[in-house]
Chains A and B, each alone.
Chain A
């Protein structure tokens, strides 16, 4: 897990983010111990971890929830190998969908996902707000409207 966290920190650096902006090791450890959550990794020939991802498996649906890659080993294309293997694994388990999840605005990520033949699907993020939070949000929206 620590090995994966190390390459995640390398990815944060590549994305121009500070360590404080990312997830903590404890969060990744929590997530990866949950039922149906699996950490998979790609290793180069000498055994070093080059890329990894946290995948959430459901009976019909695999979700790629989190991923990271070590830049210095990117030339071996570990991320391509990882997703290729997980697409095959998801099919073997009887899933219908391999879901790359929305991108967080990292350049090239959408293109990378499309290169696997992935198609765009619209979906919604549903937000439930408490009555107080609803009033606060409405007030903020009105205030923004007055400023425009």
Chain B
């Protein structure tokens, strides 16, 4: 059994969509949008599948955001060039019972102000799922690497 890796890519439109100068971008591995192995961590085998498959794609360059929780294994680093970036993360298991207590005072005041003013938060359901699903194959590049 190999690892099946799914990697949706953001691809530029137009003439530079394919070919040696075409560039594609993927988000964090393990997060939808990045190289994704089932629902778990990519792991060394998943990363190896990704590296093999990347060579066969019709792009000159593929950029993939690193995942703070699931970095690229050191032995594969030579396959890729790396650009260092900084992200900001909240470590959720370190938060107090009420997360507001860990915020800076100004942020805390702003959250309270929003509550007082009746700001409500809700998920927006997409009303265009049926139309867009038809186009998903264009959006998603499947990098399945399956061995019998």
Interface residues of A (CB under 8 A from B): 1, 4, 29-30, 32-45, 50, 52, 56-61, 63, 65, 76-78, 80-82, 84-88, 90-91, 95-102, 110, 113-130, 132-133, 136
Given contact pairs A58-B32, A115-B104, A126-B72, a sample of 5 additional A-B residue pairs in the complex whose CB atoms are under 8 Å apart:
A30-B135, A30-B136, A34-B33, A80-B110, A127-B81
Could you list which residues of chain B lie within 8 angstroms of chain A, going by C-beta atoms?
8, 20-21, 27-28, 30-33, 39-40, 51, 54-55, 59-69, 71-72, 79-93, 95, 99-100, 102-104, 106-107, 110-111, 113-115, 117-124, 126-129, 132-133, 135-136, 139
* Cα-based distance from A105 to B72 in the complex (angstroms): 26
Q: Which of A100, A110, A127, A132 has the most CB of B within 10 A?
A: A127
Partner of B85, one of A33, A42, A124: A124
Which B residues are in CB contact (< 8 Å) with A123? 65-68, 71, 84-87
30 sampled A-B residue pairs with Cβ under 8 A: A4-B124, A30-B132, A33-B136, A34-B32, A37-B32, A43-B119, A43-B122, A50-B119, A56-B33, A77-B110, A77-B113, A78-B114, A81-B121, A87-B92, A88-B99, A95-B92, A97-B69, A97-B92, A98-B90, A99-B68, A99-B87, A116-B90, A119-B89, A122-B84, A123-B67, A125-B85, A126-B64, A126-B81, A127-B64, A129-B81
Distance in Å from the Cβ of B69 to the closest Cβ of chain A? Answer: 6
Task: Report whether B117 and A76 are in contact in the complex, using a CB–CB cutoff of 8 Å.
Answer: yes
Q: A130 touching B60 by the CB < 8 A rule?
A: yes
A84 adjacent to B99 (CB under 8 Å): yes
Q: 9 closest pairs, A vs B, by CB?
A: A133-B60, A45-B118, A81-B114, A115-B107, A118-B88, A36-B32, A85-B121, A80-B110, A113-B88
Is the contact region of chain A dominated by helix, strand, or loop, or is it mixed?
A: mixed
Verify B30–A61 contact, CB threshold 8 A: yes
CA of A132 to CA of B62 in the docked complex: distance in angstroms?
13
Pair B114/A1 contact, Cβ less than 8 Å: no
Q: Which of B118, B121, B129 contacts A82 (CB 8 A)?
A: B121
Closest Cβ–Cβ distance, residue A121 to chain B (whole Å)? 5
